Structures are given as C-alpha cells and as structure tokens.
C-alpha cells in the first residue's frame, strides 16, 4: 500500500473550496484513496473522494494528513493529490 503525507496549506483548512477541489480529483482516480489525520489508525481513514468525509475530518491549516492507496499508479496518484492539499486554494 502506498502512503503519502501532506500538510494542509489552505488557510481555512480542508473545508469548502479546498475539500471540493480535492474530492473531485480523488474521485477521478481509478483507485480507492483514503485520508486520515496523521496519528489516526489506518482503519479509521475516510474515503478521500467524499466531500462530507473531508469536511468531517476537521483538518486545519498546517495539519498533516496521510493519504493511502493500493494498486497500479498509486504512488503517482497520491503525489498528485498531495500537491492539491499542499496548495493554498484560498490565495488563488
């Protein structure tokens, strides 16, 4: 299983616009991708393509999240998703 950590760059955290952008990108990936706050058990990870899951995660600016996926292309997929989290979408 591939794993990638990323720090939330958006000033308001992973809410509203950033969560929408991330969920849409995760939904386009043909793999099951999960997300959890760093330190949380892997079995409590949530569906990364669900905007409701992302918003209930409660990730704030600077929090580190852990992305996980398994299958062909998982490393590249997680790298792409991590870049979205590490971009301040509120500054655009």
Catalytic residue numbers, as ranges: 15
Q: What is the 3-state secondary structure (H, E, C) of 27-87?
A: HCCCCCEEEEECCCCHHHCEECCCHHHHHHHCCCCCCEEEEEECCCCHHHHHHHHHHHHCC
> Which three-class secondary structure state does DSSP give residue 12?
coil
Cα angle at 53 between 79 and 74, to 5 degrees? 25
């Amino acid at each position: 299983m591939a794993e990638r950590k990323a720090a939330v760059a958006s000033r308001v955290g992973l809410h509203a616009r950033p969560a929408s952008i991330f969920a849409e990108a995760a939904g386009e990936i043909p793999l099951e991708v999960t997300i959890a706050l760093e330190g949380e058990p892997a079995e409590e990870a949530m569906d990364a393509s669900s905007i409701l899951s992302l918003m209930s995660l409660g990730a704030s600016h600077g929090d580190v999240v852990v992305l996980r996926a398994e299958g062909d292309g998982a490393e590249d997929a997680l790298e792409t998703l991590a870049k979205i989290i590490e971009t301040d979408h509120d500054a655009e």
